[in-house]
């Protein structure tokens, strides 16, 4: 393993494992997740992504170079032009609309995670913000890749195959690789050993909040 992201992932291995192999993820890949759980998750994820688009707008403001601004704009565009549309297209199958998603109240888990990330960015610099964003951006690519390799994840009768295809697809995988490279580049410029424990704490907290987000989806079946 090499690079800043790889170091963070290794040092937060327990939290990362709990996030990427969560029961929600396994059920999604098997096609066994209840529609109610997925609908609740998808609605909250729509609201979540709106706040994450704002985080990328904040990244553009914090960016020290034009190249950094363009990278932030790329992340924002991916959310607004691709991921949000995927969510709308999936709920439309169930007779729901984009308005239903936009007007839904934010769950506590959604508020906790998104405001944590926005606060990390507001208080820190671009490296702080990108570290807090990394579990979502790069983690979804890892999960998508894993589920996309499984027979059940690719099965025509898996009701969540469109979601899996989106995050296992070449476009999102490249987005995640670019995000990892950008994180490593920023760390090469401004990381110090004295600063590392605080960044690791940010990364691990965001990773645990991701796992809480999955658990929120399962809670509707309790």
d(CA 151, CA 6): 28
Residue pair 76/53 in contact (Cβ under 8 Å)? The answer is yes
**pLDDT tens, the chain, 222 aa long:** 479 999 999 999 999 999 999 999 999 999 999 999 999 999 999 999 999 999 999 999 999 999 999 989 988 998 999 889 889 988 888 888 888 898 999 999 999 999 999 999 999 999 999 999 999 999 999 999 999 999 999 999 999 999 999 999 999 999 999 999 999 999 999 999 999 999 999 999 999 999 999 999 998 766
d(CA 192, CA 187): 8
Which pair of structure tokens corresponds to residue 138?
């790069």
98 classed as catalytic: no
Which residues neighbour 70 within 8 Å (Cβ) at sequence distance 6 or greater? none
What CA–CA distances, in Å, run from 157 to 16, 53, 152?
29, 32, 9
Instruction: Please report the beta strands in the chain, taking only residues with DSSP state E, as ranges in sequence order.
Output: none
For residue 155, what is the DSSP state? Answer: -
Which residues neighbour 211 within 8 Å (Cβ) at sequence distance 6 or greater? 15, 18, 19, 22
Phi first, then psi, for residue 96 (nearest 5°) are -100, 165
Residue pair 206/136 in contact (Cβ under 8 Å)? The answer is yes
Residue pair 77/56 in contact (Cβ under 8 Å)? The answer is no
pLDDT at position 97, please? 87
List the domains of the chain with CATH numbers: 4-219 (1.20.910.10)
Catalytic residue among 109, 142, 166, 210: 210
The label of the residue with tokens 């820190």 reads 124
What CA–CA distances, in Å, run from 88 to 51, 102, 161, 207?
17, 10, 15, 26
d(CA 118, CA 155): 37
Catalytic residue among 83, 109, 136, 180: 136
d(CA 101, CA 171): 25
Which pair of structure tokens corresponds to residue 185?
């580049």
Residue pair 46/103 in contact (Cβ under 8 Å)? The answer is no
pLDDT at position 1, please? 47
23 classed as catalytic: no
pLDDT at position 221, please? 65
pLDDT at position 132, please? 97
């Amino acid at each position: 393993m090499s690079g800043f992201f790889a170091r963070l992932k290794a040092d937060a291995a327990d939290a990362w494992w709990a996030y990427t192999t969560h029961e929600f993820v396994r059920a999604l890949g098997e096609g066994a997740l209840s529609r109610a759980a997925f609908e609740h998750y998808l609605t909250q994820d729509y609201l979540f992504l709106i706040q994450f688009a704002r985080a990328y707008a904040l990244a553009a403001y914090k960016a020290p170079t034009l190249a950094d601004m363009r990278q932030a704009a790329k992340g924002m565009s991916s959310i607004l032009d691709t991921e949000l549309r995927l969510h709308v297209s999936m709920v439309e199958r169930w007779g729901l609309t984009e308005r239903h998603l936009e007007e839904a109240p934010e769950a506590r888990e959604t508020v906790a995670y998104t405001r944590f990330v926005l606060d990390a960015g507001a208080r820190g610099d671009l490296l702080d913000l990108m570290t807090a964003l990394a579990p979502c951006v790069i983690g979804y690519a890892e999960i998508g890749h894993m589920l996309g390799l499984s027979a059940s994840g690719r099965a025509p009768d898996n009701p969540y195959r469109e979601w899996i295809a989106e995050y296992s697809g070449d476009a999102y995988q490249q987005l995640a690789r670019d995000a990892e490279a950008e994180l490593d580049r920023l760390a090469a410029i401004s990381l110090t050993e004295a600063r590392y424990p605080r960044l690791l704490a940010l990364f691990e907290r965001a990773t645990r909040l991701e796992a809480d987000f999955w658990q929120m989806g399962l809670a509707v079946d309790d």
